[in-house]
């Protein structure tokens, strides 16, 4: 089996391995980590499997070049180990950038809730990106992203969340990068929510800055649908993207 086949096998086997861990008897509002760049502090209930996936279309301009691309998958699997702890597996996406099709790679990780009150919550999210990507996403080293995820209530139906953290590659001499993602969310109705936010990714080279917005719809007690859009607002590169997805609790 060649390396590309091995990567594809990992992407196909991981979802079934996680989903078969346990059935769910969870109730209540879904705490999804999509849409948007950031993660919330909420963890999946013990014994629950939650799948989150989506698709995205984008258009980008850099210097005099203009192109379109698409991403299909964005699959994240979450399993509740305890009330304060979940395990996570990112199956990744197929990135379609004509004439090439590339794979974004897999990841594993966890989320640990550090503190919670009636008005706020704080968790730490750790993600290890595995060297399973292809094309532009190919990497020979594992990298770890460690971030704090906070959410606080500002008023009835209004909340402010933020992610702050760093990404560090293992081995080699690559420098760490940093992220900061503040998001304002608000309830439109009992079933519809909305958000606007900023996402910044900072390195010793060119930084990446985005503004984003989206809507969520709780279509059933165990399913949330979403639409999202955003702009990359850098001097060296501009990009627009729009996507849709869902989160489902099994």
Question: 214, 197 in Cβ contact below 8 A?
Answer: no
- 173 or 75: which carries more pLDDT confidence? 75
Angstrom CA distances, 32 to 103, 105, 178, stand at: 23, 21, 23
Question: Looking at residues 167-185, what average pLDDT do you find?
Answer: 91
Does position 24 have pLDDT exceeding 60, yes or no? no
- 13 or 74: which carries more pLDDT confidence? 74
User: Where does the pLDDT of residue 52 fall: very low under 50, low under 70, confident under 90, or very high at 90 and above?
Assistant: very high
Global pTM value: 0.85
Q: Which two tokens stand for residue 222?
A: 């165990």
Least confident of 115-124, 162-171, 172-181, 188-197: 172-181
Question: Looking at residues 231-243, what average pLDDT do you find?
Answer: 88
Angstrom CA distances, 26 to 83, 202, 223, 250, stand at: 11, 38, 12, 8
CB atoms within 10 A of CB 53: 18
Q: What is the DSSP string of 191-240?
A: SEEEEEEEEEEE-SS--EEEEEEEEEEEEETTEEEEEEEEEEE-SS-EEE
Q: Phi, psi at residue 234, to the nearest 5°? A: -110, 150
User: What's the CA gap between 146 and 16, in Å, rounded?
Assistant: 26
pLDDT reported for residue 53: 97
Q: To which residue do tokens 């990106």 refer?
A: 129
CB atoms within 10 A of CB 193: 20
pLDDT reported for residue 28: 52
Per-residue model confidence as pLDDT tens digits over 61-101: 765 566 778 999 999 999 999 999 999 999 999 998 767 89
Question: 92, 102 in Cβ contact below 8 A?
Answer: no
* Percent share of the chain, pLDDT over 70: 86
Q: Which two tokens stand for residue 194?
A: 């909305």
User: What's the CA gap between 224 and 216, in Å, rounded?
Assistant: 7
CA dihedral 103, 242, 234, 206 (to 10 degrees): -20
DSSP 8-state class, residue 83: T
CB atoms within 10 A of CB 207: 13
């Amino acid at each position: 089996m060649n390396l590309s086949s091995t990567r594809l096998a990992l992407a196909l086997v991981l979802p079934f391995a996680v989903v078969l861990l346990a059935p769910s008897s969870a109730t209540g509002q879904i705490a999804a980590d999509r849409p948007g760049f950031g993660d919330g502090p909420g963890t999946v209930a013990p014994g629950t499997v939650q799948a989150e996936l989506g698709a995205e279309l984008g258009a980008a301009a850099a210097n005099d070049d203009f192109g379109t691309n698409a991403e299909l998958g964005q699959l994240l699997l979450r399993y509740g180990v305890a009330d304060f702890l979940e395990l996570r597996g990112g199956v990744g996406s197929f990135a379609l950038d004509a004439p090439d099709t590339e794979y974004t790679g897999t990841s594993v990780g966890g989320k640990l809730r550090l503190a919670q009150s009636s008005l706020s919550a704080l968790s730490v999210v750790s993600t290890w990106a595995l060297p399973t990507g292809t094309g532009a996403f190919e990497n020979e080293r594992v990298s770890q992203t460690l971030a704090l995820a906070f959410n606080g209530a500002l008023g009835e139906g209004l909340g402010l969340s933020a992610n702050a953290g760093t990404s560090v590659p293992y081995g080699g001499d690559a420098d760490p990068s940093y992220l900061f993602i503040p998001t304002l969310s608000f309830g439109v109705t009992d079933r519809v929510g909305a958000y606007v936010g900023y996402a910044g990714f900072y390195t010793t080279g060119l930084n990446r800055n985005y503004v984003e917005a989206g809507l969520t719809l709780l279509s059933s007690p165990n399913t949330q649908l979403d639409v999202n859009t955003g702009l990359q607002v850098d001097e060296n590169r501009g990009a627009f993207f729009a996507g849709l997805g869902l989160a489902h609790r099994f």
